[in-house]
Every structure is written in structure tokens, then in C-alpha cells.
Structure 1
Amino acid sequence: MAFNLLKGKKGIIFGALDSNSIAWKVAERAFEEGAKFTLTNAPVAMRMGEIQKLAEKTGSEIIPADATSVEDLENLFAKSVEILGGPVDFVLHSVGMSVNVRKGRPYTDLNYDWLAKGWDVSAVSFHKVLQTAWKLDAIAEWGSVVALTYIAAQRTFPDYSDMAENKAYLESIARSFGYHYGIRKKVRINTISQSPTRTTAGSGVKGFDAFIDYAEKMSPLGNATADDCANYCVALFSDLMRRVTMQNLYNDGGFSSMGVSELVMKHFGTD
């Protein structure tokens, strides 16, 4: 069901790879709610994905951009403003990667070159996106920026490895830049801490399927799906949440507030 929450709004969506990705679901929902937007991803990721199908479905143009390249981001924002007919009202940052996790390197023996690459892609890219938009004045007054994160920024999940630090840094950027952009243009910046979700990227984490099952048993409402996250993003992009900024917002079925659940206790055979 659509409510025209984003009627007349313009945006940029980073990270739609295939129909399993959260960014893909956000694009579909934003389109249903009346938004117009450009789609972007790194050139290498675009060759792996099916983003052209999403562009056709939503009537969007694709602008390839490496989120770690300021030059690419300048081109992305400039072209988006031109295509959409003015500054954007919302941006979704759905970008993350750990080479150490992909290559199975243990946290106690990290490759620091790989760590730096993952940190740049997953966290510093968010600052680059915001700083580029700031300098080009590419986000409209009362705009909304959302980045996707995970509770490993606050709690230890051993197999999440150095991505935990990346997400903690990402959340800090949202708070710090949220202050400056709020003062300047009333732009709000938030992160959504999502349940573990079956995406192409998420499936690369060791033991991911088992952890999804654990989180499901721990969460009173069950795990939040990619569609749930898309709805949350749309709400944050809309004018309904104009005073929400600099927040890390949990979309996890209650997992973040739990100590233990009856289902988990039963699983381990506790009477």
C-alpha cells in the first residue's frame, strides 16, 4: 500500500546490487511512494548485479560511482541534481565491505591493508558522501540521509570481525555530521541498525545462517526483513520524521533490548 509519502521528493540510492539487497527494496518502496531518484554503485559491483532491471522498473538513471572516490561522488551529485532538477531530498548509504571477512582472516591476525580498504569503503565513504554534498550544496533543506549499520558496533559478534569497527565509525560520522548539517540546512542524518538479513553481501559472514536463526529466537517480533527496513527508510525520508536526527535507530524486532529469550533457553535444553 502506498501513501504518497515521498511525492515530489528526489534522491540518490547507493548500493542496490540485486533483488536481495536492502537498497533494492528501498528503491522499490521509494518509487511506490512517489519519489524520483538516481541509482549508484561501484562499477565492479554493477557488473555483478542486475541494477539495470531496477532502473527500468523505477524509471531511474544509473550513475556509476566508487563511494571512496571524491571525484566520482562530485560527478554523481552534480549529475543527479541536473537529472532530477534540483538538490536531492534524501540519500541512502548502503555500502559496506571487509576484505578480511571475505578472505576468512581472523580478527586476531588482521591484514591492515585490507582493514584500511574496508574502513574506507564502509565508513569513510559516508563522510565523503556528506562532505561532497555539503560542498556542492546538493541536499535540499530538511533533507534526510540514512546509512545502514549493525548492532556489532555496540556488541561483540566474533565473526563480524573488523566490520564492527567500521560500523561504529559510520555511526559516529552520522552524529558528527548530523550536527553540522542540521545547523546549516536542517538536514537530518541517521543510521538504521538492521536485523541480520539475507543479502548477497551479508551471506559472506561465517556462520550467518545460524546467527539469523539465533536472532529470530531472541527477537520478540522476529527478525526485521529487508522490506521492513525499506519501510523504515521511507518513513525517515518523509516529512513525518523531520525532527529525528543524529540517531542510531534499531530495526531488529526487539533484539537490541533482549538479554535472553525463552526460545533460546529451550534450544539449549534449559528447564
Structure 2
Amino acid sequence: MSADQELAGRLALVTGAGRGIGEAVVHALAERGARVLATDLDTAGVEAAVAGRYDGRVTARRLDVTDAAAVEELVADVEDTLGPLDIAVNVAGILRGSPVAELTDEDWAATFAVNTGGVFHVSRAASRRMAGRGSGAIVTVASNAAGIPRTNMAAYASSKAAAVMFTKCLGLEVASSGVRCNTVSPGSTLTDMQRGMWADAGADPEAAARSVLEGDLAGYRTGIPLGRMADPSDVADAVAFLVSDRARHITMHDLYVDGGATLRA
């Protein structure tokens, strides 16, 4: 089967699909023939991105991943109306940057509610059904910050680390049922989240991008050996591979897509 049809006939649920990596994942899956339920708090971005494309195979639905009942209701409705889910991709995430001493309870809780709780809610609802059918693939988009300390990112890094370990544990539990669970951990990627970090710091975008590529000794941060920041499509292509049959013997794996930034330390 050609690469552009390797996911033909499969139904995928993508969270955080309104922009950035989530939007890129929607395109990557749809371009490979999948039907995609693209969810976000704001569906306008999804609808604009897919307008007139994919022959109606992409459907936009509003979803708050922090609401367990809403997630369960949506997944049940999808399976009743569109068919069984073959793929679930957790992309929805938020970043509240702050030194720990200034980090509020609200920001800590909100970060975990989306980045960890949302992954739990969606993966639980999807895996329960996939396991009963004996097949399925779940991918969680985490972050390389889950594997290496970052200043001013304790809540984000901790929530992503929890999401990675949750996904691996789930993968172990459902492996015997034919369901694969993996994570993709991007480094710095040119998304609104990345640009927002620069804006919050009051940095010049060009200077900030240069700092990311070259590293920051004062921030205990290595640069990017490949010399470029990722495009969202770089991450989406990794996701598309992991949900395809080409990755049929890969589960509980954490795939770093960061240009070598963490040195895998």
C-alpha cells in the first residue's frame, strides 16, 4: 500500500487539533487516508484548516479533555456514529512558565489537568474499547522537557513526565490485547506555544530563536545539534509512523524528536 493510503479506513481521534502540532497531526493522518475526529476547545481553527480538503473525512468537535464525563460521552458517541476508533492521539497541552517559588496552585493544577489528566481521560476511554476489539494505537505527544530538567518549567515538565510514564504503563497493560501505546517527545518546535514563551520573556524573536539553537549556559540548556527548530509537521510525521503498521512491533517507546537537543542525557 502506498504511504498516502497506509491509514485508509481507520478512524482517529486527535485532541488539541486547533493549531500547532495537533493541527499538523490531523493533516498527517488525513493525508494518509484516515478519517479524523479533530477535537479542541475552539474548533474554528480546525474547520478553517481543513475547509474544502479531505473529502469530508475530517470532522471537528469541541472537547475539554479535563472533563472526564465529556470525554467518555464523545468517545461513545463517535463509536456509535462514525465507527470504532483505531487511533487516538493526545496533543492537547498548556504551558504555564514560572520559577517554582512563584508558581501558583492554580497554574500547577491547570497544567496537570490538561497535560496529564486529559491524557488519562482520553486514553482510558479509547483503550478500553480498543482492547475489547484486539487492536488499536495510542500516541501521547509529550516533550523532551519530561526527560531533562528545565528552569521555569517545573509544572510543564512534571506533567509531561507523568504523561509519558502513564502511557508506558497503559501500553504494558493492553499489549496482550493488541493495543500499542507510545509517546513522541518534541523539543523546541515553531508553534504558538514556543512563540508565546518568547513573548512572555520580552525577547526579540530572532534573538530568542538563536538562543534556542545555540544553547543557553545560564539556563543550563544545550542547543540543537541539527541547527534547526522542528516544524509541527516533523512531529506529526513521527506520530503518523507510530500509529501505522510500519510500527506494528513498537510499543511503550518514547521517541524524541528534538534535533538532538537533550543529548539523550
- Common fold, TM-score beyond 0.5? yes
Select the residue among 197, 206, 223 that pairs with 2:229: 223
Per-residue deviation, residues 90-131 of structure 1 (Å, max 9, x unmatched):
111111114x42xxx432222113211211111121111122
Give the C-alpha shift of residue 187 in structure 1. Answer: 0.9
Select the residue among 210, 224, 228 that pairs with 1:213: 210
Q: Match of 1:67, as an amino acid?
A: V
Unaligned runs of 5+ in 1: 260-271
CA distance in 2, matches of 1:181, 1:170: 16
SS in 2 for 1:34: coil
User: Does the aligned pair in 2 maintain the 1:152–1:164 contact within 8 Å?
Assistant: yes
Match of 1:199 in 2: 191
CA distance in 2, matches of 1:136, 1:244: 20
- The share of aligned pairs that are identical, in percent, is 25
Q: Match of 1:250, as an amino acid?
A: Y
CA distance in 1, matches of 2:4, 2:101: 49
Give the C-alpha shift of residue 135 in structure 1. Answer: 4.0
Match of 2:39 in 1: 40
SS in 1 for 2:256: strand
Please show how residues 13-162 of structure 1 align to structure 2 within 5 Å. Answer: 13-18=14-19, 21-42=20-41, 45-46=42-43, 49-56=44-51, 57-58=53-54, 59=56, 60-85=58-83, 87-98=84-95, 100-101=96-97, 105-137=98-130, 140-162=133-155
Alignment RMSD (CA, Å):
2.4
Match of 1:188 in 2: 180
SS in 2 for 1:118: helix
CA distance in 2, matches of 1:139, 1:63: 25
Distance change in 2, residues 1:235/1:114 (3 Å):
same
Match of 1:266 in 2: none
Unaligned runs of 5+ in 2: 215-222
User: Does the aligned pair in 1 maintain the 2:188–2:229 contact within 8 Å?
Assistant: yes
Give the C-alpha shift of residue 159 in structure 1. Answer: 2.8
TM-score using structure 1 length? 0.82
CA distance in 1, matches of 2:10, 2:230: 26
Q: Match of 2:24, as an amino acid?
A: K
Indicate yes or no: 2:243 matched with 1:241.
no
CA distance in 1, matches of 2:171, 2:39: 23
Give the C-alpha shift of residue 38 in structure 1. Answer: 0.8
SS in 2 for 1:255: coil
Q: Match of 2:16, as an amino acid?
A: G
SS in 2 for 1:196: coil
